[in-house]
């Protein structure tokens, strides 16, 4: 896909904005829509000069002048890239292989300030040495460059480093990963991931990356972008490498089949053990399962994996609880009879349940301790939820309240839940609304911080049967 490193931008009378530079890869034709990166401005190619001659298209390796519509001269600067839309991915960190010139008097130390020259860009940066404490003259090592501002870069891009004054060349190298993760807590794992990305072909790199069992998987779009893979080549690579796809919002995350199978086996094993220990329990919540599994995937990935197991019929959901398909829990004997006396009151109350003390007054033959034992059992079964000290709400009614709260928060400009608005919309009392939102916090549906309360998950993921 097309990339051009801009070294000049100017205006010509009757033509408009013109940029010049070298086409690093791909082809461009009159009428193409491209993006000025890292600024993200969309432009259309009005005219092309290739090797100082008017042309209908420009090719990789040629010096090009492009007349652009949709942008002013002031919007394009030396160091920008003109790229296919899919390649617009600004970055402020680069993982690289860096070689220090043999003539340097001393090793290149960690956090050394430098000038990075990549394409036509010149930007200040700091060197984070990933292997050892410094890079000796004449040696190469993996490092991360922290840039002063975002730039465009892809895997394989060559660069030069000069000292802070930009007078002396220190060394150079090539980009390994233009989109490194922020965390460096597991340096050994990160170095293994970089070794995989240094392999010669995208298919080899993807296969080696998946074999490392990355907890967050491999982002399919990011991988295709860093290798500059057009759609047909991306599909060819995916077809050549066995993988499973887990959706994470708009992202497609790739995992090895063996890794997904291990995660699934761990989930099934934890639930089977739990059912064996507590046969009257309806199962475990997503959070409980995730805490119990070693080498677990990221939270959003784990949620998507559970959805796949639910769709496959391996698991079942009852309220917030997950169980193995076929696992059932039911009240028996006296407990069942007691629930049949209480349930009509909760059915009638719906989203406005009676207080617990009120239920005891309705039927003075009810014993508080017996009712509480039944309620605790029903809570473990996922049928009801204790909200505050006075209320028990059935799962379907709690889902209705949570859905209305979710809709209010989504309509808020800051995605915050306003408790007063929730009372007005649902008609519930203040006595119920406060413990209700506190219960949402308690089960991880919402989170309250210094500026308000916001949803962490869709209520349907928590309460839907």
Which CA distances in Å does 156 have to 119, 185, 202, 290, 359? 12, 25, 12, 37, 71
How far is C-alpha 316 from the chain's CA centre? 26
Q: Is residue 356 part of a domain?
A: yes
What is the pLDDT at residue 182? 84
CA-wise closest residue to 191 among 143, 156, 146? 143
Q: Is residue 420 part of a domain?
A: yes
Sign of the dihedral defined by the CA atoms of residues 22, 28, 30, 32, in that order? negative
Instruction: Work out the angle at residue 404's Cα, subtended by the Cα atoms of residues 402 and 405, and round it to the nearest 5 degrees.
Output: 60
Q: Does residue 358 sit in the same domain as residue 264?
A: no
Domain count along the chain: 5
CATH classification of the domain holding 298: 1.10.10.10
Report yes or no: 226 and 193 within 8 Å, Cβ to Cβ. Answer: no
Enclosing H/E stretch for 302: helix 299-311
CA-wise closest residue to 142 among 184, 90, 85? 184
Q: Does residue 351 sit in the same domain as residue 460?
A: yes
Residue finishing a domain among 274, 301, 324:
324
Q: Does residue 142 sit in the same domain as residue 222?
A: no
CA-wise closest residue to 161 among 104, 118, 129? 118
Residue finishing a domain among 294, 324, 354:
324
Q: Does residue 431 sit in the same domain as residue 336?
A: yes
DSSP letter at 456? S
Q: Does residue 361 sit in the same domain as residue 419?
A: yes
Q: Does residue 357 sit in the same domain as residue 458?
A: yes
- H and E: helices and strands count for the chain: 14, 27
What is the pLDDT at residue 296? 76
Q: Is residue 431 part of a domain?
A: yes
CA 234 to CA 292: how far, in whole Å? 36
Q: Can you tell me which residue has the tokens 């003259």?
A: 137
CATH classification of the domain holding 29: 2.40.30.10
Burial of 162 (0-12, 13-18, 19+ CB in 10 A): middle
Q: Does residue 391 sit in the same domain as residue 457?
A: yes
What is the pLDDT at residue 184? 66
CA-wise closest residue to 181 among 197, 200, 203? 197
Q: Is residue 253 part of a domain?
A: no
Q: Can you tell me which residue has the tokens 């967050």?
A: 216
Strand partners, 9: 19
Report yes or no: 46 and 16 within 8 Å, Cβ to Cβ. Answer: yes
Q: Determine the 3-state secondary structure of 427 from DSSP.
A: coil
DSSP state letters, 279-346 = TTS--EEHHHHHHHSTTPPPHHHHHHHHHHHHHTTSEEEETTEEEETT------HHHHHHHHHHHHHH
Q: Is residue 99 part of a domain?
A: yes
CA 252 to CA 409: how far, in whole Å? 27
Residues of the chain with pLDDT > 70, as a percent, come to: 99
Strand arrangement of the beta sheet that strand 284-285 belongs to: 284-285, 321-324, 315-318
Domain range for 222: 187-239
Phi, psi dihedral angles at 18 (to 5 degrees): -130, 135
Phi, psi dihedral angles at 252 (to 5 degrees): -110, 115
Q: Is residue 247 part of a domain?
A: no
Residue finishing a domain among 177, 201, 218:
177
Give the total residue count for the chain: 465
Q: Does residue 354 sit in the same domain as residue 439?
A: yes
Q: Does residue 125 sit in the same domain as residue 23?
A: no
Q: Does residue 420 sit in the same domain as residue 389?
A: yes
CA 176 to CA 10: how far, in whole Å? 33
Q: Is residue 246 part of a domain?
A: no
Q: Does residue 460 sit in the same domain as residue 346?
A: yes
Tens digits of pLDDT across the chain (465 residues): 999 999 999 999 999 999 999 999 999 999 999 999 999 999 999 999 999 999 999 999 999 999 999 999 999 999 999 999 999 999 999 999 999 999 999 999 999 999 999 999 999 999 999 999 999 999 999 999 999 999 999 999 999 999 999 999 999 999 999 999 987 667 899 999 999 999 999 999 999 999 999 988 999 999 999 999 999 999 999 999 999 999 888 899 999 999 999 999 999 999 999 999 988 788 998 889 988 988 777 777 888 889 999 999 999 987 778 999 999 877 778 888 988 999 999 999 999 999 999 999 998 899 999 999 899 888 878 789 999 999 999 999 999 999 999 999 999 999 999 999 999 999 999 999 999 999 999 988 999 988 889 999 899 877 765
Q: Does residue 159 sit in the same domain as residue 127?
A: yes
CA-wise closest residue to 287 among 438, 461, 465, 464? 461
Q: Is residue 182 part of a domain?
A: no
Instruction: Work out the angle at residue 429's Cα, subtended by the Cα atoms of residues 425 and 434, and round it to the nearest 5 degrees.
Output: 95
């Amino acid at each position: 896909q097309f990339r051009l490193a801009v070294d000049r931008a100017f205006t010509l009378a009757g033509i408009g904005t013109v940029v010049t530079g070298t086409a690093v890869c791909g082809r461009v034709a009159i009428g193409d829509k491209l993006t000025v990166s890292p600024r993200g401005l969309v432009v259309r190619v009005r005219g092309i000069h290739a090797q100082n001659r008017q042309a209908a298209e420009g090719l990789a390796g040629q010096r090009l002048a492009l007349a652009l519509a949709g942008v002013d001269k002031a919007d394009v600067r030396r160091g920008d890239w003109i790229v296919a839309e899919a390649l617009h991915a600004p970055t402020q960190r680069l993982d690289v292989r860096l070689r220090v010139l043999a003539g340097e008097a001393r090793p290149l130390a960690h956090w050394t300030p430098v000038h990075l020259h990549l394409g036509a860009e010149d930007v200040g940066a700091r060197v984070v040495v990933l292997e050892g404490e410094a890079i000796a003259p004449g040696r190469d090592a993996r490092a991360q460059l922290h840039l002063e501002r975002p730039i465009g870069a892809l895997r394989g891009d060559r660069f030069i480093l000069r000292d802070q004054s930009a007078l002396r060349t220190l060394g150079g190298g090539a980009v390994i990963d233009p989109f490194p993760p922020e965390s460096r807590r597991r340096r050994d794992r990160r170095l293994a991931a970089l070794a995989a990305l240094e392999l010669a072909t995208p298919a080899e790199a993807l296969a080696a990356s998946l074999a490392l069992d990355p907890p967050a998987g491999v982002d399919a779009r990011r991988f295709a972008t860093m290798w500059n893979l057009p759609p047909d080549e991306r599909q060819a690579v995916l077809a050549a490498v066995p993988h499973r796809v887990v959706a994470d919002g708009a992202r497609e995350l790739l995992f090895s089949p063996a890794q997904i199978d291990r995660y699934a086996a761990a989930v099934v094993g934890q639930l089977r053990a739990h059912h064996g220990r507590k046969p009257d329990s309806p199962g475990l919540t997503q959070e409980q399962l995730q805490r119990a599994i070693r080498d677990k995937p990221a939270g959003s990935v784990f949620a998507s994996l559970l959805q796949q197991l639910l769709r496959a019929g391996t698991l079942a959901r009852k309220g917030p609880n997950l169980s193995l398909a076929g696992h059932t829990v039911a009240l028996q004997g006296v407990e069942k009879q007691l629930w049949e006396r209480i349930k009509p009151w909760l059915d009638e109350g719906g989203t406005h349940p009676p207080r617990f003390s009120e239920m005891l007054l309705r039927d003075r033959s009810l014993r508080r301790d017996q009712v509480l034992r039944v309620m605790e059992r029903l809570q473990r079964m996922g049928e009801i939820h204790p909200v505050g000290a006075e209320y028990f709400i059935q799962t379907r009614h709690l889902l209705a309240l949570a859905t209305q709260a979710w809709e209010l928060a989504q309509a808020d400009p800051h995605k915050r839940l306003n408790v007063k608005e929730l009372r007005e919309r649902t008609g519930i009392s203040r006595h119920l609304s406060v413990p209700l939102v506190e219960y949402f916090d308690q089960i991880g549906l919402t989170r309250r911080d210094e500026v308000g309360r916001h949803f962490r998950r869709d209520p349907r993921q928590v309460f839907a049967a």
